[in-house]
Structure 1
Amino acid sequence: MNPATFADVVDVEVAEAPTAPVPTVSAGRTAIAVATPADLLRIAVENGADLDRLEKLMQLQERWEAHEARKAFVTAMAAFKREPIEIYKRKQVGYKTKEGDFVGYKHAELSDVTDAIAPAMARHGLSFDWDIHQANGTITVDCVVTHVLGHAKKVTMTGAPDTSGKKNLIQQAASTITYLQRYTLLAVTGMSTKDEDDDGAGGADEHPQGNAQAQHASERPTARAAQPQSAPYDQKKFDANKDQWREVVKSGRKTPAQMIKFIESKGALLTEEQKLTIDSWSHEND
């Protein structure tokens, strides 16, 4: 049997796949593969290139790798965004009226965000981490998303320590850090939280800003149901009783919602700031 010639092979391949013709190579010509900077560097080393030429080739290799890593990052983020991720506002701060209406606000805690995002990111070679800095009475949090090939994206937010309630200095810093971690992670990944019923007040969690104090203001309790008109609770009377009420809440005898309901049952409605103060008592030991 005669051995198959190059022409025989080409004829067979064209006949079997007419829609994808196989290019032929003319006699005397050699197919040339595209060389990467790493290939050029290896060849230069093998041929004894001088140090200056090697340094330039190494710089070229570094730029090439950075470009490839950036492309891989964009591809991975696009795939991550196609994941069916849902982050719900599960944390309720407030109380229910006698009619069963909720008065207060809801938000997603840091664990709600990380539990939803981390597994999906890992499937596409992505991870996240935070860098924390404190200076001049403010706290700065950097959230960095990194791809396995090395390209990264960072979002930075700054805020003052959370002085609400009677937190000690460490608790004040921890509260703000957790808060900034939540919002920087949402921002750098382009994610948002959702609620089954936003009553038109939504978006507070879905559009993070760089100022943490403005974010705290957006999460202050708002009434979801119309409340009867009544004079606000006298602040002097509130201050006179709050130490005793605080002990009741801290001891667990009443929840903040139960305490608010008990106080308002006397006929005067608490202000939003007074409600926030009562709620903060339950977090003093966090």
Structure 2
Amino acid sequence: MSLPAENLRELGPVSHLPTVAAPMDIVRAALATGNVEMYREAVALAKEMDAFAARKAFDNAMADAKAAIPTIRKNREVDAGEKNGRQGPKYRFEDLAEIARTIDPILGEHGLSYRFKVSSEINQPVRVTCIVSHRAGHFEETTLTSGKDDGPGRNAIQQIGSTITYLQRYTLKAALGLAASQDDDGRISERTAEPEVYTPPPGSITQEQADNIRDALEAKGASVKAFLQWAKRDRIESIPADYYDACIAAINKFQKV
């Protein structure tokens, strides 16, 4: 947008024009003329310039942040179960908490943040929008929808919760441009429930302790299934907190034959 020539003439000779270094300088110069129309156009121009600067700052911050984000550790394993008499594959993926632990400090360093908007109306797909914002004011939205995850053993709230978690994970990855091709679960034609909806019994180990056990098992080359049989538990997260030290000690003593 540019100011009309007749309005520019009201500012006086070029030699008397103030140096315009920022959008607000344009607004002040127009305001000084007393011309209301020119002032309105100057304000509109200043808004366009601010929006352009904010978008540029957003793009630069996103580029710098993406360059700094490492490969995100896949900290979850899901068994696709049995279908048509055949055992489905197992796959690993990074859950939402692991993504957040990896990216949040990096995004913060570059003035970026994200939040989610969720919509789940009766008889309608679940809708999740990830909004990535920069401190300069520019933001962008990424939206995905999906039917409720009505797998076996889930009540209505769990169906919605599982779907929301799934969509949050994928809208965030899409908004940040994180590679989805590395997701093992992208090759599974029928999505299974997200483990994040599982609530361990009271007195269980923390998520950090569960991750430590998984890391220790992986470092020793030990089988998670065999470990769970030894611990008499169906999930690592359900191990009582009082057993944590004993579990770590047992894993450390393990020697693969």
* Category of TM-score, reference length = shorter chain: 0.5 to 0.7
- What are the residue-to-residue correspondences of 1:44-55 with 2, within 5 Å? 44-50=30-36, 52-55=37-40
Distance 1:34 1:189 in 2: 36
Q: Which residue matches 1:184?
A: 171
**8 A Cα contact 1:192 1:206, kept in partner:** no
The more displaced of 79-88 and 64-73 is 79-88
**8 A Cα contact 2:18 2:29, kept in partner:** no
- What are the residue-to-residue correspondences of 1:70-149 with 2, within 5 Å? 70-94=55-79, 104-135=90-121, 136-149=123-136
Relative distance call for 1:53 and 1:206 in structure 2 (3 A) is: farther
Q: Which residue matches 1:39?
A: 25
Distance 1:71 1:57 in 2: 21
Distance 1:46 1:34 in 2: 14
Aligned length: 177
**8 A Cα contact 2:92 2:185, kept in partner:** no
TM-score, scaled relative to structure 1: 0.54
Identify which of structures 1 and 2 has the higher relative contact order when contacts are C-alpha pairs closer than 8 Å and 6+ apart.
1
**8 A Cα contact 2:125 2:147, kept in partner:** yes
Q: CA deviation at 1:203?
A: 4.0
Relative distance call for 1:206 and 1:172 in structure 2 (3 A) is: closer
Which amino acid is the alignment partner of residue 64 of structure 2?
Answer: A
In structure 2, the residue corresponding to 1:216 is in which secondary structure? coil
Q: Which has the larger radius of gyration?
A: 1
Which amino acid is the alignment partner of residue 110 of structure 1?
Answer: L
Relative distance call for 1:34 and 1:55 in structure 2 (3 A) is: closer
Distance 2:76 2:127 in 1: 24
Distance 1:34 1:176 in 2: 52
Deviation sequence 1:171-224 (CA, Å, 0-9, x none): 110110001000111111011379xxxxxxx544579xxxxx95727x9xxxxx
Unaligned runs of 5+ in 2: 1-14, 81-88, 195-230, 237-257
Which amino acid is the alignment partner of residue 187 of structure 1?
Answer: A
Identity of aligned residues (%): 33
Q: Which residue matches 1:249?
A: none
In structure 1, the residue corresponding to 2:161 is in which secondary structure? helix
- What are the residue-to-residue correspondences of 1:1-286 with 2, within 5 Å? 33-50=19-36, 52-94=37-79, 104-135=90-121, 136-192=123-179, 202-204=182-184, 216=191, 254-255=233-234
TM-score, scaled relative to structure 2: 0.60
**8 A Cα contact 2:91 2:184, kept in partner:** no
Distance 1:31 1:48 in 2: 15
Which amino acid is the alignment partner of residue 176 of structure 1?
Answer: T
**Larger relative helix fraction:** 2
**8 A Cα contact 1:130 1:144, kept in partner:** yes
In structure 1, the residue corresponding to 2:92 is in which secondary structure? strand
Relative distance call for 1:144 and 1:205 in structure 2 (3 A) is: farther
Which amino acid is the alignment partner of residue 160 of structure 1?
Answer: G
Q: CA deviation at 1:84?
A: 4.4
